[in-house]
Amino acid sequence: MDNTPDSLQPKFNRVLLKISGEALMGDQGFGLHPPTVQRIAREVKTVHDLGVEICMVIGGGNIFRGLSGSAQGMERTTADYMGMLATIMNALAMQSALEELGVFTRVISAIRMDEVAEPYIRRRAVRHLEKKRVCIFAAGTGNPYFTTDTAATLRANEMACEAIFKGTKVDGVYDKDPKKHADAKRYDNVTYDEVLAQHLGVMDASAIALARDNNLPIIVFSLDEPGGFRGILAGQGTYTSVHG
């Protein structure tokens, strides 16, 4: 196969990339690591250059995680809203990195803050995608008690995405942590029900159930592998497909 940008026919036309906030902090223990943000932005650009329409959802765990805040005695709703605000910061950082590369983006927030982001209006967001802008959905669903995994699955369905790409630290779904267990087994394919029954930790249960109910495949791959995101769209690379 000739994999030049002109000849490559991507497997999907519209996808959602879900990454954790921790993916943006590099080797730091907290916050944003600009070179790491820029590296991920370059990965997104290589896929965007193929003509693929891209949505993104980024977690906020590098700045604040609502669940851990509530575990330390903070009221859960307040903690979750703080986590949503953290995702806004990450989205703006990614927007800046992408636009430095010449990729037009829109940060679209489920919580209104008109000075820094657009409010979420589904038809407007679809139009941005049609105009080849990268849409970065921030602030989760706008509701406490829902994770950014669930927000990603919700937005992917609303935007009629053909797949969710879940970027992680490992190259797929394993039966146990491969960094702790040398005998960990990687799955090439796994069903939604197997993920739920075996607690494989791909996404939280509500996100998996929402993907299953709408037959939305989830591709789990390593965000640390250069060219991995683009390679999978070309039918190459190592990943796990979660499907019906």
List the binding residues for ATP: 18-21, 61, 65, 168, 174, 177
Annotation: binding site for UMP: 60, 80, 141-148
Annotation: binding site: 18-21, 60-61, 65, 80, 141-148, 168, 174, 177
C-alpha angle 94/141/218, rounded to 5°? 70
Per the CB < 8 A criterion, the answer to whether 52 and 12 are in contact is yes
Q: Provide the phi-psi class of 140: left if phi over 0, else alpha when psi is between -120 and 50, else beta.
A: left
Rg (CA), the chain: 17
d(CA 161, CA 210): 14
Phi (first) and psi of residue 83, to 5 degrees: -65, -40
Per the CB < 8 A criterion, the answer to whether 56 and 135 are in contact is yes
Contacts of 40 (CB under 8 A, 6+ apart): 19, 23, 24, 94, 97, 167, 223
